Amino acid sequence: MEDRAHRHAALMDATYRYQRLIYDVTRRYYLLGRDRLIRDLDPPPGGHVLEIACGTGRNLDRIAARYPGRALYGLDISEEMLRSARAKLGTRATLARADARDFDATALFGRRRYDRIVFSYSLSMIPDWTDALSHALSHLAPGGELHIVDFGGQSRLPAWFGAALRAWLARFHVTPRDDLPQEAGRAAAEIGCRSVSESLLRDYCRYLVLSRPASPA
């Protein structure tokens, strides 16, 4: 990893060295919409699912339970988070440490394309998040889907709530991406994908699905 990536990896390791131990218990109360994403994921039988910035492996654990027979992969820049993910998932998923902006999927996992790709509350933590999004789209198989859930703009919630939430999130190096729907739509259009965005819970969070057309018969 380059110097900037090393610095970010070190920051994430320092942030989650101990937080990872209580992460799943505490985040269940405010990382909302993750289970909706998993319900909608519906990877094809025998399909390949990649989660970028997989953290403790919580989502992959639930995907494995809901969709048996799929091949699961996860990457994260934090070795500390991957310690928890490996303990949780065992042999049910292939995990690797990598930077979301420029990972080499073939070198890491032995394949380039995936039927489903997931970003769950991770783009708000990746400094060059638009690069990470474009890079992920380049790994989407024909007929595949990229699913995203992340913080929204809180536009339909009281102003004090949004301000307090953002101040609290900043303590964990999290920045809601207010232009996520626009940037996702632009990145999808550039490679002929379709983008659908939905605001959930009065814009507390946003759920997006970016779909690549199937190859012509």
| Residues 58-99 pLDDT 10s | 999 999 999 999 999 999 999 888 999 999 999 999 999 999
User: pTM for the complete prediction?
Assistant: 0.91
CATH 3.40.50.2300 fits 3-211, yes or no: no
For residue 217, what are the CA distances in angstroms to 68, 113, 189, 193? 28, 19, 22, 18
Average pLDDT over residues 191-206: 96
Instruction: Give the residue extent of every domain in the chain.
Output: 3-211
For residue 133, what are the CA distances in angstroms to 19, 30, 66, 104, 197? 26, 23, 26, 14, 15
- Give the three-state DSSP class for 145: strand
Q: Is the pLDDT of residue 38 over 80?
A: yes
- Give the three-state DSSP class for 215: coil
Question: DSSP character for 110?
Answer: S
Q: Which helix (H) or strand (E) holds 181?
A: helix 180-190
